[in-house]
């Protein structure tokens, strides 16, 4: 199977006529994703290499049967794009856009969570189910289909660990980049729960980083609700206190949110933590033997 995106995904790209939306929308289609529509207000009737463009997401749902949205619009419009997709009945919304104001995402979070929409992002690389669908900017060519579920706050580390697994002849059921902002649509717990219920996923890898306490919350959840093996990697062991390391959500406050603290919390719950991406991949290989 897989989670979030699969062979049944019918994708509308909000912002398809922009340079980034066009580039990645066409790459997603080339991978095999069923990209059925684009949305750019005022450009209905146009197309992007055969993909029809509509004025609204509602039109894309009604006329093209879209059920998943990929958002590539400027940050100041991203929250409105999320609302529009949710109101149109889109089941899964994946927002790549960076720099979405936190106060706007807080309001949007309450809105879409109350309607049962699966939301990934913002400031994320998207979701890839190898051999089925790629929705976002993940370089699908370095991943292969398999039984390892991978969820990460970091796009780059997702790519590295996925490539390491491929080199060890291991593949992934689904790769999910949840995003590095302080407020994102889906947490580690949300995604891990989906992996727990997914028959294709046999082992889960969680890639965290400094800042916040999402990894600690996930550790507690895993110990009580997850029967599949879980391994982890935490980026930022050398990060000095008070420094933002790449993501808005990756900031240490005093002793809270440190890599060492997260490692200890995970290991206390029986979750192995690798010190490098290469070591994590090898730990996975050892478990999958």
Angle between helices 259-268 and 214-225 (to 10 degrees): 10
Note whether residue 130 is domain-resident.
no
Q: Which residue has the higher pLDDT, 4 or 156?
A: 4
Confidence of residue 275 (pLDDT cuts 50, 70, 90): confident
What range does the domain containing 196 cover? 143-288
Residues 183 and 114 in one domain: no
Q: By the 8 A CB rule, do 179 and 109 touch?
A: no
State in Å, rounded, how far the first CA of the chain is from the last one. Answer: 21
**Can you give the pLDDT at residue 253?**
46
**Total number of residues shown for the chain:** 289
Boundary-marking domain end, from 105, 120, 135? 120
Indicate if 99 belongs to the active site. no
CATH no. for residue 73?
3.40.50.720
Q: Per the domain annotation, does 100 fall within a domain? A: yes
Confidence of residue 284 (pLDDT cuts 50, 70, 90): very high
The percent of residues above 70 in pLDDT, for the chain, comes to 93
Q: Is the pLDDT of residue 83 over 60?
A: yes
Query: Is residue 165 one of the residues assigned to a domain?
Result: yes
Give the pLDDT score at 185: 97
pLDDT one-digit tens code per residue, 23-79: 999 999 999 999 999 999 999 999 999 999 999 999 999 999 999 999 999 999 999
Q: Active site residue: 99, 103, 163, 247, which one?
A: 247
Evaluated on CA atoms 207, 136, 201, 82, the torsion sign reads positive
| CB-based burial label for 182 (10 Å; 0-12, 13-18, 19+) | middle
Q: Is the pLDDT of residue 171 over 80?
A: yes
pLDDT for res 268? 92
State whether 164 and 81 are in the same domain. Answer: no
CATH number, domain containing residue 191: 3.40.50.261
pLDDT at 245 over 80: no
pLDDT band, very low/low/confident/very high, at 243 (cuts 50, 70, 90):
low
Q: Rounded to whole angstroms, how far apart are CA atoms 146 and 171? A: 4
pTM of the model: 0.93
Report the C-alpha gap between 160 and 165 in whole angstroms: 9
Residues 6 or more apart whose CB falls under 8 angstroms from that of 66 comprise 10, 11, 12, 36, 37, 57, 60, 90
């Amino acid at each position: 199977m897989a989670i979030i995106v699969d062979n049944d995904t019918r994708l509308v790209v909000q912002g398809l006529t922009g340079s980034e939306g066009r580039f990645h929308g066409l790459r997603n289609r080339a991978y095999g994703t069923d990209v059925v529509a684009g949305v750019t207000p005022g450009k209905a009737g146009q197309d992007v290499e055969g993909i029809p463009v509509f004025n609204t997401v509602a039109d894309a749902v009604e006329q093209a049967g879209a059920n998943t949205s990929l958002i590539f619009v400027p940050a100041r419009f991203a929250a409105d794009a999320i609302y529009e997709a949710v109101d149109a009945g889109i089941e899964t919304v994946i927002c790549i856009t960076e720099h979405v104001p936190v106060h706007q995402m807080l309001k949007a979070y309450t809105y879409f969570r109350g309607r049962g929409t699966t939301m990934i992002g913002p400031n994320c690389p998207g979701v890839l189910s190898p051999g089925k669908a790629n929705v976002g900017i993940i370089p699908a060519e370095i991943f292969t289909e398999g039984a390892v579920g991978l969820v990460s706050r970091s796009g780059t580390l997702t790519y590295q660990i996925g490539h390491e697994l491929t080199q060890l002849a291991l593949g992934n059921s689904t790769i999910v980049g949840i995003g590095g902002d302080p407020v994102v649509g889906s947490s580690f717990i949300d995604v891990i729960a989906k992996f727990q219920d997914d028959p294709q996923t046999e082992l889960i890898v969680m890639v965290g980083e400094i800042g916040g306490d999402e990894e600690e919350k996930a550790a507690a959840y895993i110990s009580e609700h997850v029967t599949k093996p879980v391994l982890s990697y935490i980026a930022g062991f050398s990060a000095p206190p008070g420094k933002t390391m790449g993501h808005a959500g990756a900031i240490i406050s005093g002793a809270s949110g440190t890599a060492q603290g997260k490692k200890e919390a995970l290991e206390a719950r029986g979750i192995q933590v690798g010190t490098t991406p290469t070591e994590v991949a090898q730990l996975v290989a050892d478990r999958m033997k």
